[in-house]
Structure 1
Amino acid sequence: MRRHATPFSLVLLGLGTFLLVLAPLLAWYVTPRVAVNPVDVDTTAVYTGTGSVFDAGRLRTVPGRHITVTQRVRGDVAASERSGHAAVWDVVTTVDTDETLPAADPHDALDLTPHRWVSDRRTNRPVHCCGEQPYIEGEAYLKFPFDVQRRPYRWWDNTLGAPVVLRYQGVEKVRGYEGYRFTGSVPATRTGSRPVPGRIVGAPDRPQVLAEEWYANHGIELVVDRTTGRVLHAQTGPRRTLRAPGAHRDAAVLLDSRKLAFTPATQRAAVAQAQRDGERLRLLGRTVPFGAAVAGSALAVAGAVLVIRGRRRPG
């Protein structure tokens, strides 16, 4: 008589088949839907360094000042949900010296720049909706896309009002955590104009002049987590100046620093967050699918062998 497969062999075969189906499902379907920009972000990045700033009281540039740049990012959850697929982040950037930093109101800062960035949660590309301000372009701003590649990226420079090409420069560790290093710079570029007293730009006989605003960057350097696209370390060298209309030389320096970089506390927070998010994504996208595929193959083979043996006729 023909013997039938045992329930145990069928269970092994079914479990193995389930794991084999689960492995690619986790890697190719679930993980891309988990790797998305958050909508409830609330982070603060602080840069510090030294440089020259314009003293509005004395109408002249003062060198050797300690400069602090604070960038606060908050997600607008309600606006993100209404958009359906975008992350809406409100960003406020302040520039302070030691004299203005203790102020309780950020509007008392040396410089205050509020804006709104809207990005596709999966691709990190700008989405032009939801009150975006300004019109942001490029493929990276505040963070890089997930799964960072060793290639140039177009990073949005909010002061320039345009993307800057950052090129891959190798691997670098931040607090013992490895990331990709990207660098770039900005040549002197006119970014706008503003009315100022004539004597600031070398025209003392004119009470007010529509001066030209110029911006350059000595060097932008970012170290980025490969898995999540989070910035582990950032360094920038902004130079903002004024020129008389049509002039070819700077007449006044508003801000000039060779190096403004993440503070140690900002580095630690960025690395810790990248480690947490990266481990979850690697677990879901690599470790678990690989383990499921190996275990599923073994169980399916074992179950199939037992089923075949159970169906053999006795000799």
Structure 2
Amino acid sequence: MRKSTTTWILTGSAVVLVAASAVTRFTVYPALHQVPADTRSTFRYEGTATLLNPAALESGDLTKAFLADLPVTLDRRIEVRDTDGRTAVIADDAVLRGRDGTELNTSEHTWAVDRRDLTEREAPEGSTAERHEGLVIAWPLSPERRDYRFWDTGTQQAVPARYDGTETVSGREAHVYDIQATGPLTDPATAGALPAALPRQVVAALVAGRPGPAERPDEAALASLPKNVPLTYVSTTERRGWVDADTGLSLNGSLHQRVLAQTEGPDGPLTLFPVTDVDVTGTEKSVAAQADDAASAGRLLWLLGTGGPLGLLILALLLTAFTVWRARRHPTSRV
């Protein structure tokens, strides 16, 4: 006597379903729960900016040295350029534009990050990725309610990204993180484009024309400066990020970034004038698009990580139960 062919088929099918459940959860899901190799996205911010006016500086008309409170947009583009196992090499480009589309400022960076937790990774051979520590472009794919370390490009240091509660953004649950960084400007691309010194009369004119209510150095302090004033620069960045709790996608963000020119005065560092002051937040269109992407990604990850494996396992259990029930009703088959 032997088990019937049907019983063998049912038993084998149940085993296949269990195996498929395990493969989906422990192979397919981890393979997809990482930064995709074809990632390419652009997030738009809008707000205002105060900048030095290059045309006025070049012409010597220092009465128009500043472009103050310009309406601007800031497009940040993230693109995966290469992958190597758990490492992704990512281009991080930002373009600041005026209302008429005029390009006002740009920045370009390349990072090597872990495709799952988004922290630093050793750059693959031949890559031009910059050194950094902690997070730099985005958040882990499963963000936690805790503080992280975030890389500030202006000061070239890792600073705390402090967890500040959970809010709702476009119907999605979002963890909120605050980042603040202040220190000497050490980003080589930005610092290298700024003058190391300026004539005292130019500095005095820039101080006199600086916008905003900030306190200005007095005439006595300016008069005590050397004829050629050595300059240093301070970078201050304030960020606030709303991060999707399920997928780690950034749903919204705000950025206030300033670079101030300083020199050594009689009583210590003397702040002279702003070089850049950009204050922007995510546009409604970009926030809505990110929320839609997060919803789609969340459904896929749930299907692969929970729904699919669980469904396959339930089918396997039902099939096993049916096989046992059938075997009891038809215990043997005679030759």
Task: Give the TM-score, by structure 2 length.
Answer: 0.78
1:5 Cα offset (Å) = 3.4
Q: 2:155 aligned with 1:169, yes or no?
A: no
Q: 2:118 aligned with 1:97, yes or no?
A: no
Q: 2:41 aligned with 1:43, yes or no?
A: yes
* SS of match in other structure, 2:308: helix
One of 69, 76, 80 as aligned partner of 1:71: 76
* SS of match in other structure, 1:141: coil
- More displaced 10-residue stretch of structure 1: 199-208 or 272-281: 199-208
| Cα displacement string for residues 42-95 of structure 1 (whole angstroms, at most 9, x for unaligned residues) | 22222111243322325544433223222222332xxx25x4542222222223
d(CA) in 2 for partners of 1:183 and 1:236? 10
Are the aligned partners of 1:116 and 1:134 in contact in 2 as well (CA < 8 Å)?
yes
In 2 relative to 1, CA 208–67 (structure 1 residues): closer, same or farther, beyond 3 Å?
Answer: farther
d(CA) in 2 for partners of 1:125 and 1:185? 19
Q: Unpaired runs of 5+ in structure 1? A: 104-108
Q: Which amino acid aligns with 2:254?
A: Q
Higher RCO (CA 8 Å, separation ≥ 6 residues): 1
Q: CA RMSD in A?
A: 2.7
Q: How does 1:146-165 map to 2 (within 5 A)?
A: 146-165=141-160
d(CA) in 1 for partners of 2:197 and 2:285? 38
Are the aligned partners of 1:32 and 1:122 in contact in 2 as well (CA < 8 Å)?
no
Q: Which amino acid aligns with 1:150?
A: R
Map of 1:236 onto structure 2? 255
- Residue identity over aligned pairs, in percent, reads 21
One of 4, 16, 19 as aligned partner of 1:18: 16
One of 173, 180, 189 as aligned partner of 1:185: 180
Q: 2:193 aligned with 1:198, yes or no?
A: no
1:312 Cα offset (Å) = 6.3
Are the aligned partners of 1:10 and 1:303 in contact in 2 as well (CA < 8 Å)?
no
In 2 relative to 1, CA 245–110 (structure 1 residues): closer, same or farther, beyond 3 Å?
Answer: farther
Q: 2:133 aligned with 1:134, yes or no?
A: no
Map of 2:241 onto structure 1? 222
Map of 2:208 onto structure 1? none
d(CA) in 2 for partners of 1:163 and 1:110? 27
1:118 Cα offset (Å) = 1.7
d(CA) in 2 for partners of 1:73 and 1:174? 22
Are the aligned partners of 2:166 and 2:175 in contact in 1 as well (CA < 8 Å)?
yes
Runs of 4 or more, structure 1, over 6 Å off, are none
Are the aligned partners of 2:89 and 2:129 in contact in 1 as well (CA < 8 Å)?
no
* SS of match in other structure, 2:287: helix
Are the aligned partners of 1:47 and 1:70 in contact in 2 as well (CA < 8 Å)?
yes
d(CA) in 2 for partners of 1:52 and 1:25? 55
Map of 1:106 onto structure 2? none
One of 237, 261, 264 as aligned partner of 2:281: 261
Are the aligned partners of 1:179 and 1:226 in contact in 2 as well (CA < 8 Å)?
yes
| Cα displacement string for residues 216-240 of structure 1 (whole angstroms, at most 9, x for unaligned residues) | 13x3111112333211101112121
d(CA) in 2 for partners of 1:7 and 1:249? 89
Q: Unpaired runs of 5+ in structure 2? A: 205-221
* SS of match in other structure, 1:299: helix
1:207 Cα offset (Å) = 6.5
* SS of match in other structure, 1:22: helix
1:148 Cα offset (Å) = 1.3
